[in-house]
Structure 1
Amino acid sequence: MRVKKMDHPNHSIKCVVNTCHYYTSGDYCAAEQIEVQPRNAADSQDTDCATFLPEK
């Protein structure tokens, strides 16, 4: 899933994965939207951010 990277942080999405293309200082995400998978996750350890894109 490739989404637009905004020029400002999305303050409603906290993210500490500093190796992601969408990461911004202050531990925020600059993706316009995110997708978290899978549908039938039982707890947070079962989830995965499908929006993650490694920083180049």
Structure 2
Amino acid sequence: MLILVIVLVVLWIILAIVGFAIKGLLWLGIIGIVLVLATIVIGAIRRNSSTRKP
């Protein structure tokens, strides 16, 4: 699960960099940043919930 989160974060960061590098794709950069943050939050929540199981 952790590997999946890391791969997704890397992909979203690459997407954000491409979006900011190309002026016409600024929206892609914004979406990339939102997806990075969402992936980190969801990964942290799932990681915490899986470690609390009895």
TM-score grouping bracket, smaller chain normalisation: under 0.3
Structure showing the higher strand proportion among its residues: 1
TM-score, normalised to structure 2's length? 0.19
Structure showing the higher helix proportion among its residues: 2
The structure having more radius of gyration, on CA atoms, is 2
TM-score, normalised to structure 1's length? 0.19
